[in-house]
């Protein structure tokens, strides 16, 4: 699964915001899958991460999701 591979390649502290956006049960299930996955080639992880970025950009272009929609100020 590309999501598991993409998340496996990043630090736990960077995964947490993603996990906080879902139920505890779902987050625990994904954590279990990540831990059960074992070692992976870095190239596989990078390809999975690229696929997730591509999907997110497509969803943003379609108006399904919005990036940076918080109350943060930008300069």
Distances (CA, A) of 11 to 8, 18, 61: 8, 12, 28
Mean pLDDT (the chain) is 91
Q: Which residues contact 74 (CB under 8 A, 6 or more apart)?
A: 68
pTM: 0.77
The pair of structure tokens assigned to 21 is: 């956006």
Flag whether pLDDT at 5 surpasses 90. Answer: yes
Task: Tell me the per-residue pLDDT of 17-29, one tens digit each, with 9 for 90 and over.
Answer: 999 999 999 999 9
Pairwise CA distance, residues 11 & 13, whole Å: 6
Domains of the chain as residue ranges with CATH: 2-61 (1.10.220.30)
């Amino acid at each position: 699964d590309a999501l598991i591979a993409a998340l496996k390649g990043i630090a736990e502290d960077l995964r947490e915001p993603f996990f906080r956006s879902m139920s505890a049960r779902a987050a625990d299930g994904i954590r279990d899958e990540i831990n059960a996955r074992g070692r992976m080639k870095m190239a596989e992880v990078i390809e999975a991460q690229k696929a997730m970025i591509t999907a997110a950009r497509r969803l943003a272009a379609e108006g399904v999701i919005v990036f940076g929609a918080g109350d943060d100020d930008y300069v």
